[in-house]
Amino acid sequence: MTWELSLAGLLIGTLVGLTGMGGGSLMTPLLVLAFGFNPTVAIGTDILHGAVFKTVGALRHRSLGTVHLRLSGWMFLASAPMSLVGVAMATWIRDRYGPASSSGSRCSSSSRCGRRSSWGRTSSTPRRCCGSLGWGTS
């Protein structure tokens, strides 16, 4: 853990608190692009973090009476099956096109390219590029 990660968490948390915007859409790309985390690790970490904090928030809102249970039920009926469809699609894509490389790129080309962080530093871990698909090329 470094002070930079703590500072990023503080800034993202403040922005989320002020706007109500989802922190995962901000923190996950920041972990990948600025700090060089593997995308799978960044996503898994964010999911665990969100599950803990959303559970606490949901319990608090329920105790305050600010939850519309019927609406929540309808949202669950749509989102639960579609999350399973999303997992099935991701599994199908992995089985059809191959697993992701260690850097999260979804290709099997043998060419390599350096990965730049948003701060202009080149990552020490090269990633596979998919020139034929237009992925990972810049």
Question: Per residue in 4-27, pLDDT tens?
Answer: 888 988 898 888 888 877 788 888
Quote the distance between the C-alpha of residue 39 and its chain's center: 7
Other C-beta atoms within 10 Å of 118: how many?
Answer: 11
CA atoms of 68 and 43, how far apart (whole Å): 29
CA-closest candidate to residue 42, choices 63, 23, 28, 61: 28
Strand-strand pairing, 112-113 and 127-128:
antiparallel
Residues 38-56 pLDDT 10s: 999 999 998 898 889 889 9
User: Residue 22 in contact with residue 16, Cβ under 8 Å?
Assistant: yes
Residues 84-123 pLDDT 10s: 999 999 999 999 998 876 554 444 443 344 444 444 444 4
At residue 109, the pLDDT reads: 40
CA-closest candidate to residue 118, choices 15, 8, 23: 8
Q: What is the pTM of this model?
A: 0.55
